[in-house]
Amino acid sequence: MQRLSSKGRADALRLSRREFVAALAVPLAAAGCTRRPYRRSDFSLPQRSVVELLPASSYDVDFGDLIGRGLHDLGVTVRDRRVLLKPNMVEYEPGTAINTNPLVIAGAIAAFQRAGAAEVVVAEGPGHRRDTEYLLTRTGLYDHLCDHRVRFLDLNEDDVEYVPLKSNFTKLNQLALPVSVLRSDFVVSMPKLKTHHWAGMTCAMKNFFGTVPGAVYGWPKNVLHMHGIHNSILDLNATIRPHLAIVDAVTAMEGDGPIMGRPRHTGFIAVSQDVVAADATCCRVIGLDPERLPYLAEAGQFLGNIDPGRIEQRGERIDRYAAEFDVVDAFKPYRLTR
């Protein structure tokens, strides 16, 4: 559960929470004044990104149908492709909203199987709880995996390959990543929408911290924190290039997320082939300004769209779900001016 400051921050004076969060953004602020740490030719922003908000007033809806509808509306094709679903599974605590709900994951499995995927697997490498067997059984996801005959891959323990980073905000140059992620045809980020006490928000992009193998980097993947959370989010997404986001925002989390926050009913599933646009939209829903969140502001320069003028909203309107989520003090200045 520990979240740590970097070596650089360690050299600083005694840190308060506000100073700590501010320090996380420093490397990116500096990067704004200099040459970007990626080749522009490797990336191109979509002319337009579609984000569909699908209503789900509770977890009683048929998520197979709902997500299937989203895939159809977005024109997602996965026939004969190996699909890897990456949910957010961190910790189990009854009555909280920490993890992607297993019913949403089961719905996605059904939707992709119906869409003709060659294989669907569920993969996660928790940065907090090392014990995925405990998490799978306690959350109930294990039973759904059995019912759908779907494999679970523990990304903390998968075979790994060192891959060069496509952007290098962290200055790590390369990371060991799980071969199951690298060799999948279609990677889907399936986060729980939550506020986050170090990053502001955790959604489809931050979710890829769970692909970094703990057996190589330890738990809770200190390397990522020490090289900057925002930097790490960018490098992971630039390198993995996920194909789709399916966000569980039926019941989200506000306050001291990603674990100690409070559940907040929101009532939708967001689907988009642009994970940056999905995050920007969810960010606006919870009342934070994506232009001010360092990782999203930078991602909007090369990875995906955050400009509402380039995001086509389908399904339900943002206004229907817009709320002002409680955030820790450090992120109150990041609030959206509505």
Partner 1 sequence: MNRPGCSIATNDGAFIRRNSNGTGIALRYLVVDLALLREFLLRARNADGGWGYQPGRASRLEPTCWASLALGNTLEPRVLEQWPCADGLLLERDRGTPNYGFHAQALIALRTLNLDHTAGNRTLLGALQRVKGTRLQPSTINRQDNSLQAWSWIDGTFSWVEPTAWSLLALKQWSTVSDAVTDHTRIVVAEQMLVDRCCAKGGWNYGNANMLGQELKPFVPTTAIALMSLQDRRTLPEVGRSVAFLEREATSERSGTALALALMALRAYRRPTDAVRNTLVAQLPVTLNLGKVVSAAMSVYALSETDRHAAVVL
Tokens of 241: 């290039």
Helical (H) or strand (E) element with 279: helix 275-285
Select from 138, 262, 292, 314 the one that contacts partner 1 (CB under 8 A): 138
Binding of residue 318 to partner 1 (CB under 8 A): no
Peptide bond into 242 cis (omega under 30): no
Stretch of 12-20, 94-102, 186-194, 262-270 lying at the interface with partner 1 (CB under 8 A): 12-20
Stretch of 131-139, 245-253, 274-282, 314-322 lying at the interface with partner 1 (CB under 8 A): 131-139
Of 204, 188, 213, the C-alpha closest to 295 is 204
Q: Smaller CB distance to partner 1: residue 83 or 277?
A: 83
Binding of residue 137 to partner 1 (CB under 8 A): yes
Select from 134, 265, 320, 323 the one that contacts partner 1 (CB under 8 A): 134
Whether 202 and 257 have beta carbons less than 8 Å apart is answered as yes
- Per-residue x/- track, 175-204, partner 1 (CB under 8 A): -x--------------------x-------
Whether 196 and 94 have beta carbons less than 8 Å apart is answered as no
- Tokens 């606006």 correspond to 284
- In the bound complex, what is the minimum distance in angstroms from residue 226's beta carbon to partner 1? 7
Stretch of 40-48, 105-113, 147-155, 318-326 lying at the interface with partner 1 (CB under 8 A): 147-155
Give the whole-angstrom CA distance, residue 109 versus residue 77: 14
Binding of residue 95 to partner 1 (CB under 8 A): no
Binding of residue 20 to partner 1 (CB under 8 A): yes
Whether 85 and 108 have beta carbons less than 8 Å apart is answered as yes
Select from 55, 74, 163, 222 the one that contacts partner 1 (CB under 8 A): 222
Give the whole-angstrom CA distance, residue 88 versus residue 107: 15
Binding of residue 118 to partner 1 (CB under 8 A): no
Of 92, 104, 103, the C-alpha closest to 134 is 92
Binding of residue 150 to partner 1 (CB under 8 A): yes
Of 297, 292, 289, the C-alpha closest to 336 is 289
Residue 210 DSSP one-character state: G
Q: Smaller CB distance to partner 1: residue 13 or 30?
A: 13
Secondary structure (H, E, C), 162-205: EEECCECCCCCCEEEEEHHHHCCCEEEEECEEEEECCCEEECCC
Tokens of 32: 């704004």
Q: Smaller CB distance to partner 1: residue 46 or 255?
A: 255
Select from 217, 302, 321, 325 the one that contacts partner 1 (CB under 8 A): 217
- In the bound complex, what is the minimum distance in angstroms from residue 60's beta carbon to partner 1? 25
Write out the residues near partner 1 by the rule CB under 8 A: 1-5, 7, 10-17, 20, 128-134, 136-138, 142, 145-146, 149-152, 154, 157-160, 176, 197, 215-220, 222-223, 226, 256, 260, 328
